[in-house]
Amino acid sequence: MPHTELPTPSVNPAPPTDPVCGTCALNHASQLLSLGVDVSGHDHVVALAGNPNTGKSTVFNALTGLRQHVGNWPGKTVIGAEGGFGYRDRRYKLVDLPGTYSLLSTSEDEDVARDFLVFGRPDVTVVVVDATRLQRNLNLVLQILQITDRVVLALNLVDEARRHGLSVDERHLARELGVPVVPMAARSRQGVPDLLETVERVALGTIATRARPVHHGDVRTERAVSELAHRIQREYPELTNTRWIALRLLEGDPGIERAVTDGTLGRLAAPAASTESFTDRSGKTHS
Amino acid sequence: MTTTLDRLRNGQTATVTALDVDGAERRRLMDLGVLPGTPIRVDRVSPLGDPTAYLVRGSVIALRRHQARGIHITVGQG
Amino acid sequence: MNQPSIIDEATRLRGQLPDGFRDGIVESLHNDAARIAETSVTEHGEGGRPTLDRLLDGALTHRVWGFAVMGLLFFAVFWFTISGAAGPSGLLSRLLVDYGHGQLHALVAPLHAPQWVTGLLLDGVYLSTAWVVAVMLPPMAIFFPLFTLLEDFGYLPRVAFNLDRLFAKAGAHGKQSLSMMMGYGCNAAGVTATRIIDSRRERLIAIVTNNFSICNGRWPTLILMGTIFIGALAPPALAGVVAAASVVTVAFLGVLVTLLVSWGLSRTVLRGHSSTYSLELPPYRPPKVWRTLYTSLIDRTLKVLRRAVVMAAPAGALVWTISNVTVADASIAAHLVNALDPLGWLLGLNGVILLAYLVAIPANEIIIPTILMLTLTLGPNLFGAQQGVMLELGTAQTHTVLVQAGGWTLLTAVNLMLFSLLHNPCSTTILTIWSETRSLKWTAVATLLPIALGFLVTGTTATVARLAGWA
Ligand SMILES: Nc1nc2c(ncn2[C@@H]2O[C@H](COP(=O)(O)OP(=O)(O)OP(=O)(O)O)[C@@H](O)[C@H]2O)c(=O)[nH]1
Ligand SMILES: [Mg+2]
């Protein structure tokens, strides 16, 4: 359903201690409270992932009221940015990740995204996809679904898809993937209320997501993955994405191998794994 | 007719048959959706003659000639 | 624990798998994705790329027109900036400098504050800040929105596409042109943006050369010099065009230097092959004009201005102080300028400019106000100014001051433009280079190489101009 464009709000309910939050806004229509850089006391961590140039930073800005660099070329965001928003009576920390084509990471900006999804363990991962390039975007979605099934698919750029004569059956897509799908045109804030609603429900667990299992063509590969996954599960009973980790280890992914040997994986598996701040972990704050 | 991607002419369509590159480069191409069986066509050539932009799975992706040389294709029934 | 470790287990299992199993995994994912996409998307119309995109690409990446359009677009951006900013700049300077400064003096006169207090605050801090606002705000308020519109439209990746062959020849990574684009806003951001480059060799090249992208802080210097010295050479009707052309020329020189230095580095200390390149050309997107204007004004313009003001205030105080503290019958500033003058002369510049570049290491934004303040203080006292007072002047009088009090010539202006392109990065950028490379050696190279080039180039132009009798 189309939402009209919301006017730039004038109220500023942000705590007065926060000088950066110039556009913090109480958005009555959607019960959204943009908190700018204030992520204190958040109840949930939400990550924004997706291919480059799909509108992640646009979504980030729409929710937090911040102004991350957006522009029409791939690779603008290279360091994750954090911001906060409130919806209904909960506070969320939102992390804008660099765009990646896959999680097989070859460059530093892609590492940032993958490490956060695997080791930062967000409560909800919003995968922002480009409705006009669905096929290539879904390749990444399937990879993310192997890591976590607490995923909301933000089907962005539907305005552009419409202009190009494409329409996407989001119900079918949701059924195929096993996670909720929200059509959006983030630049004009269409779909923002639906997205918030869906994120809340996944965060609270009132929507049961069940990611479709991915099988790997070859029977031998499949067997090796299962065997290694069992082995990992025995050592780390709390881990949920053992199949994915097994797969990465079979492929010889150095990042994951390091996580096994230096104990990062073990800490992840601990029930109350502390969710360290993203910026602390990467050792740098964004500028 | 089988050849390599750098030989493909403007506007021609082909199908990828094999990737003759290794390591990170191979990964990168596959991530972008360039794999055996993928239809690919030349969208345009850069004004200086290199790189060339290809239409793959709905996106336009520019590749330098030496990379295109490592991508085997069949031209024809495209 | 006698059982093999997980890693060993993985290695063992991997040994049993066929060679191409990695490809098999990726392929199965893509096949799944393709199947899901096919069943979810309905295509009305003929499919493929939209005609408008094809037409635009046809023009913007055309063999001949591509470059012509590129030159024309950038030229138009600067021309709009220069001709549009003149009026508002004059107005602001009359308001803040002429009127505001006098009013403030009148306002505090009844307080009988000691002279050094009003001097430091009003003549140092206030005037330099007011100057920065008057000189920088109007051009930035025009330049950034225009540039952002081009960016939102999707033009920048086309520039990268057009120029890539040159970058490839220079042994640079294809994405270096993107970090270069970021550098046109801010070099520190440009250096961080090199993270999109996988290979360390090519990343270092991109980092070292990022400084040749003219950043926010340097555009005002170029625009001012182009306007008052170079544009002024042309008949009034053409002044704006000539001024814009001179700025574009310097920006273009920056690209040339980037390519040459990349080439030099990749032939010597950073030898190697250029690695994979894949640049996605996004669809053209009609920008939301009003929103773009609004956000680029808020984000870029005011951000840059804030930094300039924050830096200008202490710099103003510093310049006022060194101009007024006397050691052995001359001010500290005079001693410094005298010491720097011979080198300045060699480079076709002068001691004041070099001292200003020292003061402005934290932020290039304050070069011009610092130069003016020092020139007025140290030059022959034409305007009856007190020591360290930056006189109340608009852009029009700047020329007079620099020529009459500073002894500037066309050579000084041209070399200042060149030096503005070729000098050390600002301190923020240097710190960013350090934190990105963690290498003292490369931080030093990235800092010293540009300034060495600056000395070389300005020294050469000065010598040539003098030998030819032009200056
Ligand atoms: N038409 C349209 N354009 C959009 C929409 N959302 C974002 N855009 C535009 O798409 C471009 C990319 O947006 P960003 O938010 O920078 O994308 P990103 O995913 O953060 O990109 P990276 O940081 O490079 O990975 C910008 O030019 C946006 O203005 C939308 O819903 N409709
Ligand atoms: Mg982004």
Confidence of residue A21 (pLDDT cuts 50, 70, 90): very low
Across the range A256-267, mean pLDDT stands at 83
- What per-residue confidence (pLDDT) applies to C431? 93
Chain C residues with at least one Cβ partner in B under 8 Å:
23, 26-27, 30, 34, 48-49, 57-58, 61-64, 66-67, 161-166, 168, 174, 198, 274-281
Residues with Cβ within 8 Å of residue C4, at least 6 apart in sequence = C12
Q: Is B2-75 a CATH 2.30.30.90 domain?
A: yes
CA distances from C197 to A209, B42, B52, C83 (A): 36, 25, 20, 38
Enter the DSSP assignment of B61. E
CA distance C460 to C444: 24
pLDDT recorded at residue C48: 65
| Domains of chain B by residue range | 2-75
Interface of A with C in 73-102 (CB under 8 A): 73-76, 78-79
Asked if the model's pLDDT at residue A17 lies above 60, the reply is no
Report CA(A11)–ligand 1 centroid distance (Å).
27
Distance CA C270, CA C63 (A): 32
Nearest chain B residue to A139, by CA: B31
Angle at C432 between CA C427 and CA C433, to 5 degrees: 95
What's the pLDDT score for residue C390? 47
Distance from CA of A230 to the nearest CA of C (A): 11
- Which burial class, exposed, middle or buried, applies to C258 when counting CB atoms under 10 A from its CB (0-12, 13-18, 19+)? buried
Strands B13-19 and B52-56: unpaired
Atom of ligand 1 nearest to the CA of A99: 25
Chain segment A142-191, per-residue pLDDT in tens? 999 988 989 999 999 999 999 888 999 999 999 999 999 999 999 999 99
Q: Encode pLDDT of A85-143 as tens digits.
A: 999 989 999 999 999 998 876 667 777 888 898 888 899 999 999 999 999 999 999 99
Contact A260, C6 (CB under 8 A): yes
* Sheet containing strand A26-27, strands side by side: A26-27, A32-34, A81-87, A90-96, A44-50, A124-130, A151-156, A181-183
Helices and strands, counts by H and E, chain B: 2, 6
Q: Which region among A223-232, A253-262, B42-51 has the lowest average model confidence (pLDDT)? A: A253-262
Q: Does the pLDDT at position B18 exceed 50?
A: yes
pLDDT for C312 equals: 78
Structural domain that includes position C377:
62-274+287-467
Burial class of residue C267 in the structure, from the number of CB atoms within 10 Å of its CB (0-12 exposed, 13-18 middle, 19+ buried): exposed
- Rounded CA gap, C14 and C21, in Å? 9
Instruction: Nearest by CB to A106, from B27, B58, B59: name it.
Output: B27
**Residue C449 located in a structural domain:** yes
Residue showing tokens 């990746």: C157
Strand partners, B60: B55, C281
| Chain-chain contact of A136 with B32 (C-beta, under 8 angstroms) | yes
d(CA C368, CA C218): 10
Q: Please list the ranges in chain C whose pLDDT falls under 70.
A: 1-3, 45-48, 274, 379-396
Domain A23-213 superfamily per CATH: P-loop containing nucleotide triphosphate hydrolases (3.40.50.300)
**CB contact at 8 A, C426 and C190:** no
Residue C410: count of CB within 10 angstroms of its CB: 15
Checking if the pLDDT of A283 tops 50, the result is no
Averaged over B66-71, what is the pLDDT? 92
Query: What's phi and psi for A241, nearest 5 deg?
Result: -110, 50
Ligand nearest to the backbone CA of A109: 1
Q: Where are the domains of chain A?
A: 23-213
Query: Is residue A16 predicted with pLDDT exceeding 50?
Result: no
Amino acid (1-letter code) at residue A150: R
Token representation of residue C42: 């309905």
* Domain assignment of residue C185, yes or no: yes
Structural contact between residues C164 and B64, judged by C-beta atoms closer than 8 angstroms: yes
pLDDT at C23: 84
Higher-pLDDT residue of A271, C430: C430
For residue C437, tell me if it sits in a domain: yes
How many Å apart are CA C36 and CA A177, to the nearest integer?
9
Structural domains counted in chain C: 1
Distances (CA, A) of C243 to A243, C229, C240: 63, 8, 5
pLDDT of A2 reads 40
Compute the distance between CA of residue C132 and CA of residue C137 in angstroms, rounded to an integer: 8
Give dist(CA A106, CA C111) in Å, integer: 66
Instruction: State percent of chain A over pLDDT 90.
Output: 44
Separation of first and last alpha carbons in chain B = 12
Distance from CA of C161 to the nearest CA of B (A): 6
Contact A265, A253 (CB under 8 A): no
**What is the pLDDT averaged over residues A54-77?**
90
Beta carbon of A148 within 6 Å of any ligand 1 atom: no
Interchain contact, A165 vs C18, CB within 8 Å: no
Identify the chains in contact with A, defined as 3+ C-beta pairs within 8 A.
Answer: B, C
Label residue C401 exposed, middle or buried (CB < 10 Å: 0-12, 13-18, 19+). Answer: buried
Q: How far is the CA of A76 from the centre of ligand 2 (A)?
A: 5
Q: Which residue has the tokens 């009148």?
A: C106
- Cα separation of A133 and A127, whole Å? 14
**Both tokens of residue C139?**
């051009």
Record the pTM.
0.85
Query: Does some domain include residue C7?
Result: no
Measure the N-to-C terminal CA separation of chain A; round to a whole number of Å: 37
Is residue A201 within 8 Å of A92, Cβ to Cβ?
no
Beta bridge partners of C43: A166
Q: What share of chain C is helix, strand, coil (3-state, %, to 5)?
A: 75, 0, 25
d(CA C15, CA C19): 9
Determine the pLDDT at residue C3.
62
> Which ligand 1 atom is the nearest neighbour of the CA of A73?
24
pLDDT of residue B78: 44
Token duo for residue C244 = 């814009």
Q: Could you give the CA distance from residue C183 to residue C204 in angstroms, rounded to a whole number?
A: 15
C39 domain-assigned: no
Arithmetic mean of pLDDT, A233-254: 86
**Whole-angstrom distance, CA of residue C414 vs CA of residue C230:** 8
Across the range A66-73, mean pLDDT stands at: 86
Identify the CA nearest to C290 among candidates A274, A5, A250.
Answer: A5
DSSP state of B22: -
With beta carbons less than 8 A apart as the criterion, state whether A127 and A153 touch. Answer: yes
Which of A102, A104, A132 lies closest to B58 in CB terms?
A132
Write out pLDDT tens, residues B23-44. 778 888 988 889 999 999 999 9
The predicted pLDDT at position C315 comes to 84
10 Å CB burial of residue C129 (0-12, 13-18, 19+) is buried
Ligand 2 centroid, distance to A78 Cα (angstroms): 8
Q: Which helix (DSSP H) or strand (DSSP E) does residue C140 occupy? A: helix C127-153
| Pairing of β B13-19 and β B39-45 | antiparallel
